[in-house]
Chain A
Amino acid sequence: MTKKIIAFVTLLTVLLFTLTGCYDSTGLEDFYYIVAIGIDKSENGLIRLNVQNAKPTSSSDSSSSQSNEYKIYTVECESIESGINILNNYLNKKINLSHCSAIVFSEEVAREGVKSYINILGNDTEVRPDCNLIVSSKESSDVLDKVSNSGEGFSSRLYEYILNSVDYTGYTINSTFNTFFSTLNSNQSQATAIYAVADEDTVQNSGAAVFKEDVMVGTISPIQTIAHLMIKDDLDSCMISIQSPFDKTDVIDLNLRKNTKALVDVSLINNTPFISIDFSIEGSINSSGEDFNYTILDNIRSVEQSASEYLESLIKEYLYTISKDYDSDIIGFGGMLASKFATADEYEQVHWDEIFKDAYFDVNVDVSITSSHLFNKE
């Protein structure tokens, strides 16, 4: 019995120490939780690191946990790590990236190459794989500063709201740190990032930035991004306006949704890539214009024909932009061709990087209008 008591007391004493916390324990108050990072080029060859943190509201009656204010700290440094170190010293708190929603590169930085920055951030266990990756048309600090377009209170979720529009507009892409890092290091496809255009007092996501290896080579427009998402099978729904087949001055608004996955076939004809893409897209008429009676089946067929032609032209324009203008296989056609070869040695003989710019595209789109139940005929 005495032995049991001694063992019990010893165990309790040991357990007491575990409740005191470690000497190196850290709490919420020890960190600055960064919402976004921006990287710009400095005049003297260094980088300018911008970090944005949300200032918690001091008002006690606020029921929301969201902050209405933010602060941007900027420091010139040689690398991201050294910049964070300088800021740690300045802020007297440790910067923590575990709540970082966006990493923003200025276009100038992106056009020089981002691999070194991505590799540094990739080794940081605090950076979330789903953190958004954005290229800003101007300074990255502009995006950080003007992110709150709608006058809504600032919060880390603002970045998510802005980028969530991809689900219903198709005007931008969903580019996370994880996917960017993977494609950056892949030999089967090239990387893309969200492209944000900063105006005087607003910032708007506007298409996608196209990379070749780690260097940004150009952008695709928001409407071309719809084509990109369609081929990648990432489009949920979007709205397009096509010229009315009945009155050239009128437009018809169509809401499109993917019906089946795009059928892509990549083959080589005389060592030139021949890529055929077949789509089946479902659509509904959102507004029909004055001279269009959608209750007549032949009229629906005409609209389907017009929509198919419009989309074929749009997709071809996009495909020739990425192949001829940018020579960047952001879809991953190379990977599709690789599946036709038994070994990587055989595939390497194709020299995909050199022949992609000569690719010929055959696009067939089949649009079917499945719903046109508007409340009015126009």
Chain B
Amino acid sequence: MSSNYKLQKYEAICLILIVMVSKLILNVPYYIIDLVGTGAIINLIYIGLLGFIFVLCLNWLFQKFPNSDIIDISEFLGGKFFKVIMGIIYISFFYLAAYVTLSDFANMLKTIYFNNSPLIFILLFFMIGIVVANLVGLKSIIRTICLVVPFTLVSILVALFAVYDDFSFDKFSPFFGYNMRTTFVNGLLNTFSLYIVTYYYFLMPLLKDSFSYKKVTTWSYIISWLLLFLTVLSILTIFPITNDTEPLNALYLLSRKIELGDFLQRLDAMFVLLWIISIFCYLSVCIFMINRVFKKLTNVTDEKLVSLSTTSIFFGLCLLPFNVAISRFMENNIYRYLIIGITFIGCFIILVLANLKFKFKKGNLQKK
């Protein structure tokens, strides 16, 4: 059964990278810059280091629970009731992530290329793909991701290379941004950009070799952070930091400026094609995760069978009225705090408590 497909190291790293790429496409780098201004470079190094320590802690905490994800650990800690609560929280969370991503991206596509087409057509294009991918299984999703990720990495490097001429240290100064407090205290809110950590809680049972978890998380984190860092660097080089203007999709605007000599111009069309596939892969992963959590809560034998239902709900969500104000509010407020609250605080506490319970139980067994 392809639903039992297990990921190789490289595949797992690509899976995490595609999550980061989807965030890069949807203006997350600009939200970072928006909060801390030119201090974004220092801020990213700072939160990157904190995030890395967090990932190392996760690796250590997961050592006691091989082949378990956060839902299994919740069950171990608080029983079935707690498992159901965590499951519902994560299903809602993945739905929200997918909804914000698709609505934002579909609206961007409509603005750029399909001004006269109804939004529902663009949404349907993604929905059909997601359903088919999930019915075929994780293997098909992962293979597509492995194909797309190298090209996406190259595209981000090309974007950096293309703005090389405009590169100047003056653009990143003052290096500590507005002030120290904004960069180091308020700037902690930028940890939401390290959203990939959420997937680390579900990665262990998906791996072919659970011992490779540490390597996968470490390498995927480093590469993802580098991607984020390079994108922020490129955007800072090109866009002025003022309160007057805010590019609603900084990476797209950046891609429009890319020219390689006189013979390669307007590469944005190529970038957008790549992003469509990346977003499609990311959404397929989101629905896969929803199906997986749902399976754990309900004991459905094959999660693939619920793909149609979960995608239909997702489609319904995407038909809700959406505009830039909602997108900005979702990304900058709700999403930011949800990621910090659930991923970086809530689940971490659950893991620590589960480890303590494990130790306590083990101690009791040894005493007996």
Contact = CB atoms under 8 A, between A and B. Distances in A.
A335 B117 contact: no
A22 B117 CA distance: 9
Interface string B221-251: 0000000000000000011111011000000
B170 A188 contact: yes
A190 to B, nearest CB: 12
Nearest to A125: B112
B176 to A, nearest CB: 5
A125 B175 contact: no
Interface string A314-352: 000000000000000000100110111111111100000
A153 interface: no
A18 to B, nearest CB: 11
Contacts of A129: 256-257
Contact of B238 (A182, A188, A332): A182
Interface string B177-219: 1111001000000000000000000000000000000000000
A231 to B, nearest CB: 13
Contact of B171 (A24, A335, A340, A342): A335
Contacts of B266: 128
Given A178-B257, A332-B170, A335-B173, A344 B240 contact: no
A343 B242 contact: no
A188 B179 CA distance: 17
A186 interface: yes
* Secondary structure type dominating chain B contacts: loop
Contacts, number: 68
Contacts of B38: 344
Interface in A294-322: none
A67 interface: no
Contacts of B176: 342-343
Contacts of B180: 342-343
Interface residues of A, number: 26
Nearest to B113: A125
Contacts of A341: 173-174
B257 to A, nearest CB: 5
B242 A187 contact: yes
B265 interface: yes
A347 B174 contact: yes
B92 interface: no
Contacts of B242: 185-187
Contact of A343 (B111, B114, B177, B240): B177
Contacts of A125: 111-112
Contact of A344 (B116, B169, B178): B178
A336 B266 CA distance: 31
Contacts of A186: 240, 242
B37 interface: yes
A347 to B, nearest CB: 6
A342 B38 CA distance: 10
A272 interface: no
Top 6 A-B residue pairs of the complex, sorted by shortest distance between their CB atoms = A339-B173, A186-B240, A335-B170, A24-B116, A345-B179, A185-B245
Given A185-B244, A188-B240, A341-B173, 11 more contacts: A128-B266, A186-B240, A187-B241, A188-B171, A342-B174, A342-B175, A342-B176, A343-B179, A344-B37, A344-B178, A345-B179
Interface of A: 22, 24, 125, 128-130, 178, 182-183, 185-188, 332, 335-336, 338-347
